């Protein structure tokens, strides 16, 4: 049995322990949990940085949170993983200080874009605070949340030093997905829409649905790229296992996003086009038969957009159909408000926005970005997304390694899905979506370099 499979079996064996631990954390004071977890991550990262990163992988979806302040417009919540990322960064810096062989920070293809976006976040928010238009505490808090994703990206890119480590991270991510799905199953029948563990205030189903889009992207990428049958069977089994909980999020934007995500991967894959297409077709045919109740619930949820949920619902036109669902019409109203009342007030707001939280809560990523960081910041962000897609596609085409191919193709599919979901959701500022996304992005961005190093080592070992 290979090392990777022994690690996989061991990790899967501790799933019940992890679930019991997660349940006990709910009753544990947040401060105690955060302190203990931070100490563990600090010690582990200082001695073995990759092991500390694995702990953070689990924490991305399995972290308790508390409300640290109630401010009109948005609650300020703090999660254990927010602290762990910072602790991991500091511990890793201490580790490098003692490493005589450290060669400096790893450069990635995204550094310029991320630094430019960081400057825009800080500048626009700073100007908004100085002008008195923003609440300093709230804006600074959310700005740091946004920058936290970039910190995770850079730390991951610098900690992961060999391609042999990638399977361990992927197994940890798969186990996390299993735990999250089991938790979601435990909610079915108790709540109308399922959500991720440790959500406050009734949960955020769209966050869980966005996370599932990331999971489905990676599973599909490995199904299409791996020559290992056991890996492919596992991907199909996990995809089927989480499907009911994905449906029970009742996230209409995520249902829509699943289609272009799947079609993109079908278009780009070099192999198993027929098998993947057959699975999608059979899934569409068999799902209503074997999951009739769930299928009808999904159809009703989609139809509620146009039927409405109350007699007071007013209509908005979309593709010659009237949108009557109050939440959908409220979104459209908020988009119009951003354009009319925020972007057109002055040139500064049009170009660089009004700063983080400067337009309140707007359900729709493009309009949130337009209001907060303006046209310039929005262009920079989507330039960054486009660059990730291009680099991932180039890596997929050029690197002959199953793990790298599965990761890069999976990231492309996940990102396409999230871009579609973000049409009506603030996808790219949600913690439970973006921490896994930026972690995976870091792995794909450094994968070509890791692969090249491994190849050079192998060639050096070969006799002349």
Q: What pLDDT score was predicted for residue 254?
A: 94
pLDDT < 50 stretches in the chain: 1, 3-27, 310-313, 319
Residues contacting 61, CB < 8 A, separation 6+? 176, 177, 179, 180, 196, 197, 211, 432, 436
User: Could you tell me where the beta strands, DSSP code E, fall in 17-163?
Assistant: 65-71, 74-79
CA angle 273, 275, 276 (to 5 degrees): 65
The Cβ-side half-sphere exposure at 117, using a 13 Å CA radius, reads 23
pLDDT at 451: 83
* Element of type H or E holding 321: strand 321-323
Distance CA(199)–CA(179), nearest Å, equals: 15
Q: Is the pTM of this model over 0.85?
A: yes
Contact in structure between 173 and 435 (CB atoms under 8 Å): no
What does the angle CA 437 – CA 440 – CA 442 come to, to the nearest 5 degrees?
Answer: 110
Phi, psi dihedrals of residue 99, rounded to the nearest 5°:
-95, 105
Please, what is the Cα angle at 371 between 368 and 374, to 5 degrees? 110
Rounded CA separation 460/464 (Å): 9
Domain boundaries defined on the chain: 3-458
Instruction: Yes or no: say if 77 and 28 are a contact pair by the CB < 8 Å rule.
Output: no
Contacting residues for 91 by C-beta, under 8 A, at least 6 apart: 41, 42, 43, 45, 46, 49, 52
Q: Of 221, 224, 275, whose CA–CA distance to 414 is shortest?
A: 221
Rounded distance between C-alpha atoms, residue 420 and residue 434, angstroms: 15
Q: What is the pLDDT of residue 8?
A: 47
pLDDT the model gives residue 394: 96
Predicted confidence at residue 23, as pLDDT, reads 46
- pLDDT confidence of residue 273: 94
Kindly give, in sequence order, each residue whose CB lies less than 8 Å from that of residue 115, ignoring residues fewer than 6 positions away.
Answer: none
Q: What is the pLDDT of residue 301?
A: 84
Question: Exposure of 302 by Cβ count < 10 A (0-12 exposed, 13-18 middle, 19+ buried)?
Answer: middle
């Amino acid at each position: 049995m290979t090392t990777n499979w022994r690690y996989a079996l061991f990790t899967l064996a501790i799933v019940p322990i992890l679930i019991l631990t997660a349940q006990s954390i709910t009753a544990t004071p947040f401060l105690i949990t955060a302190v203990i977890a931070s100490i563990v991550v600090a010690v582990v990262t200082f001695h073995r940085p990759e092991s500390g990163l694995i702990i953070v992988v689990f924490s991305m979806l399995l972290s308790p949170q508390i409300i640290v302040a109630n401010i009109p417009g948005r609650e300020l919540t703090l999660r254990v993983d927010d602290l762990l990322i910072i602790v991991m960064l500091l511990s890793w810096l201490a580790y490098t200080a003692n490493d005589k062989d450290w060669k400096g920070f790893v450069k990635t293809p995204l550094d310029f874009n991320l630094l430019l976006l960081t400057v825009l976040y800080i500048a626009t928010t700073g100007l908004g605070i100085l002008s008195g238009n923003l609440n300093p505490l709230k804006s600074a808090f959310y700005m740091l949340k946004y920058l936290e994703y970039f910190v995770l990206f850079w730390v991951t890119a610098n900690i992961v030093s060999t391609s042999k480590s990638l399977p361990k991270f992927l197994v940890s991510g798969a186990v996390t997905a299993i735990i999250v799905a089991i938790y979601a199953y435990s909610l079915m029948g108790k709540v109308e829409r399922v959500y991720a563990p440790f959500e406050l205030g009734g949960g955020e189903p769209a966050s869980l649905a966005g996370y599932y889009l990331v999971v489905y992207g990676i599973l599909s990428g490995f199904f299409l790229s791996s020559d290992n049958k056991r890996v492919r069977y596992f991907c199909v089994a996990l995809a089927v296992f989480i499907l009911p909980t994905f449906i029970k999020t009742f996230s209409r934007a995520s249902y829509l996003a699943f289609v272009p995500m799947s079609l993109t991967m079908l278009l780009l894959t070099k192999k198993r086009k027929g098998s993947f297409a057959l699975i999608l077709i059979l899934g569409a045919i068999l799902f209503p038969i074997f999951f009739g109740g769930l299928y009808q619930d999904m159809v009703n949820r989609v139809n509620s957009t146009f039927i409405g949920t109350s007699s007071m619902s007013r209509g908005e036109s979309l593709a010659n159909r009237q949108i009557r669902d109050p939440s959908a019409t409220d979104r459209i109203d908020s988009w119009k408000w951003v354009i009319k009342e925020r972007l057109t007030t002055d040139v500064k707001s049009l170009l660089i926005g009004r700063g983080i939280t400067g337009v309140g809560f707007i359900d729709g990523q493009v309009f949130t970005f337009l209001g907060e960081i303006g046209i310039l910041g929005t262009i920079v962000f989507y330039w960054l997304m486009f660059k990730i897609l291009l680099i991932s596609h180039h890596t997929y085409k050029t690197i002959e390694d199953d793990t790298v191919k599965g990761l890069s193709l999976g990231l492309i599919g996940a990102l396409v899905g999230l871009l579609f979901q973000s049409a009506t959701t603030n996808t790219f500022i949600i913690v439970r979506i973006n921490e896994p996304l930026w972690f995976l992005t870091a792995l794909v961005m450094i994968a070509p370099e890791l692969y090249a190093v491994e190849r050079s080592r192998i060639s050096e070992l070969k006799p002349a």
